[in-house]
A and B are shown apart, each in its own frame.
Chain A
Amino acid sequence: MLVLAIDTALDACAAGVLDTNAGRLIAQETLPMRRGHAETLMPLIARVIESAGIAVAALDRIVATTGPGSFTGLRVGLSAARGIALAADKPVVGVTTLAAFAAPVIGENRKSPVISAIDARHDQVYFQTISGDGATLVHPRVAPIEEALAASRFGAPHLVGNAAKLLADRWPTHLAPPVAVDPQPAPDIAWVAWLGAAVSPNAAPPRPYYLRAPDAKPAGNFLLKTQTLAAL
């Protein structure tokens, strides 16, 4: 299976082509990047596909990270993936950034749980806790850092994700310290691709996984407000 993987959800702009038969990426490019994904991504994908020496028509599947992450970033990657899928008539799937961060260490040490955490600012993180053998202990959520630290009840964890260091720095001193801390700025595109190859298309829709509602409040009684304001 040939899988085109795309990740722009966090601080990288990345794409790769996985050949599952060869068991490796046959082309990839990852640029560290905080902003500018919208300008950088499509030429980068064009280079990766050319370097892979394949036609877009040869792809079997497209995968993109769905978040959580930068709202703008994940929309760039998902628009690209869905646009390519539409134009090339290929299936498209999504995988979460939390899963992509955790994937490399799941099964590595079956006793330690894995906390996959992404900085959500305002002293909050997006996080998910997974047992060493891959079972979800805490579903993905956005919560204050303190709440993520409460996952220490599952034992000394392996911390992954761009907020791994944030959690490690705040780790309660009376508890066993994390067994490992992998503070990567973005998921490894190879693991995005492998997860994308493994998921069932029906169970992994290429839809944004924001975990936060839009910051907007329904309109109240504007007439009353206007009269109050005008009366001041």
Chain B
Amino acid sequence: MLVLGIETTCDETAAAVVERQADGSARILSNIVRSQTGEHAPYGGVVPEIAARAHVELLDGIVASAMKESGVGFPRLSGVAAAAGPGLIGGVIVGLTTAKAIALVHRTPLIAVNHLEAHALTPRLTDALEFPYCLFLASGGHTQIVAVLGVGNYVRLGTTVDDAMGEAFDKVAKMLGLPYPGGPQVEHAAASGDATRFNFPRPMLGRPDANFSLSGLKTAVRNEIGRINPLEPQDISDLCAGFQAAVLEATADRLGVGLKLFQQRFGMPRALVAAGGVAANQAIRAALESVAAKAQTVLIIPPPALCTDNGAMIAWAGAERLAAGLTDTLETPPRARWLLDASAQAPAGFANTRAGF
């Protein structure tokens, strides 16, 4: 089974061809990612209209490269998959429409993939992991703990009620005048900082649910910045270290609860899987190792190129859905919001927050 995957939900224009064998094993034949970081850097964050413009300009060329590198012609594809959301709608429209066009020309089945589902199924592509497992997805747009029980069967155990974790890193970097994208800059600065100098809050710590909150922590950092003038490099390092330490402690606590909820409802997970750009942070990785060990499970983190947004994960999720007989029509709408777990409810007291979608 050969599937083309297209990813355009944020600031990466990506396409890949993945082969899925009958036994469920996988081979990535090509995986092309064109990051738009350069386009967005002057603005200190992703600008939706600029992202949409870049996707429409780049995508057909990226798909052509992915097809060429894979050595597979369009007529041989068993399916064409695109991330149909959730994400920035302008880019989603470009990716989904392009996939539909290819599907139309060759009468190939279309698979409209939920971007979060693609992250969730990635460890089956990289590590042939069996269900069920616990996913911690933390990126610039999402922060969720999800029980992955089967293809199309996901239960959200926890979510952020405000900022995504990667977003919080990027915003702190922006406040400190560090270049975009700021997450890695904060991690770098934190390495030479004193994490104990500032006593930042640990949001949600000790709560019985597995939700996250990051905006209060971000505000606390901003308030401290306001008190220090001029801001010396050591201050920046100490602020980053303090912020990162607070995130680590909150994450460990939230994930500990998430894994406990997982075990109560679904038994032992076969692994704790981390995905999303935040999983590239070495300090967070170390914290996740200890969380997994405490829960007597193993930690799996796919290689960085497959942790962040890419086409291979979309192609793979498309292949998994196609193997399960799940395809979509040419009418399929692009979706800015799309819950992975349709039954997920916002936690009590957070009905009107991002946790509702």
Contacts and interface: CB of A to CB of B under 8 A. Distances in A.
A226 B175 contact: yes
Contacts of B174: 219, 222
Contacts, number: 135
A187 to B, nearest CB: 20
A72 B93 contact: yes
A226 B226 contact: yes
A221 interface: yes
Contacts of B52: 71-72, 75
Nearest to B176: A223
B330 interface: yes
A230 B331 contact: no
A152 B104 CA distance: 47
A218 B175 CA distance: 15
Interface in A44-58: 45-46, 56
B333 A39 contact: yes
A120 B32 CA distance: 37
Interface string B58-84: 011001100000000010000000000
B177 interface: yes
B183 interface: no
A215 B49 CA distance: 8
A88 B105 contact: yes
Contacts of A141: none
Contacts of B331: 39-40, 42-43
B90 A71 contact: yes
A37 B73 CA distance: 29
Nearest to A82: B60
B42 A79 contact: no
B43 A216 contact: yes
- Chain A interface size, as a band, is 35 or more
Given A217-B43, A221-B177, A71 B98 contact: no
A88 B104 CA distance: 10
A79 B222 contact: no
Given A87-B102, A214-B47, A75 B93 contact: yes
B177 A223 contact: yes
A14 B23 CA distance: 44
A230 B218 CA distance: 12
A39 B176 contact: no
A203 interface: no
A87 B53 contact: no
A214 B89 CA distance: 15
Interface string A199-232: 0000000011010001111110111001101110
B226 A229 contact: yes
Interface string A24-48: 0000000000000011111101100
A86 B102 contact: yes
Contacts of A216: 43, 47, 49-50
Contact of B97 (A42, A208, A222, A227): A42
A156 interface: no
Given A42-B101, A75-B52, A87-B74, A229 B222 contact: yes
Contact of A42 (B57, B100, B180, B222): B100
Given A71-B90, A221-B177, A222-B177, A208 B56 contact: yes
Interface of B is mostly: helix
Interface in A153-176: none
Contacts of B63: 83, 86
Interface in B146-195: 174-177, 180
Contacts of B98: 79-80, 82-83, 86
A13 interface: no
A84 interface: yes
A117 interface: no
Contacts of A217: 43
B97 A45 contact: no
A38 B333 contact: yes
Contacts of B50: 214, 216
A10 interface: no
B256 interface: no
Given A75-B52, A216-B49, A227-B229, A207 B102 contact: no
A230 B43 contact: no
A98 interface: no
A76 interface: yes
B39 to A, nearest CB: 10
B60 A83 contact: yes
Contacts of A82: 56, 59-60, 98, 101
B302 to A, nearest CB: 29
Given A219-B174, A223-B231, A229-B222, A87 B94 contact: no
Given A83-B105, A223-B177, A230-B223, 10 more contacts: A56-B104, A79-B56, A80-B98, A80-B101, A86-B98, A86-B101, A87-B105, A214-B49, A222-B174, A230-B224
Interface of A: 38-43, 45-46, 56, 71-72, 75-76, 78-88, 207-208, 210, 214-219, 221-223, 226-227, 229-231
Interface of B: 42-45, 47, 49-50, 52-53, 56-57, 59-60, 63-64, 74, 89-90, 93-94, 96-102, 104-106, 174-177, 180, 222-227, 229, 231, 329-334
What 9 A-B pairs are tightest by C-beta distance, nearest first? Answer: A230-B226, A83-B101, A219-B44, A223-B177, A79-B97, A87-B105, A214-B49, A83-B98, A42-B330
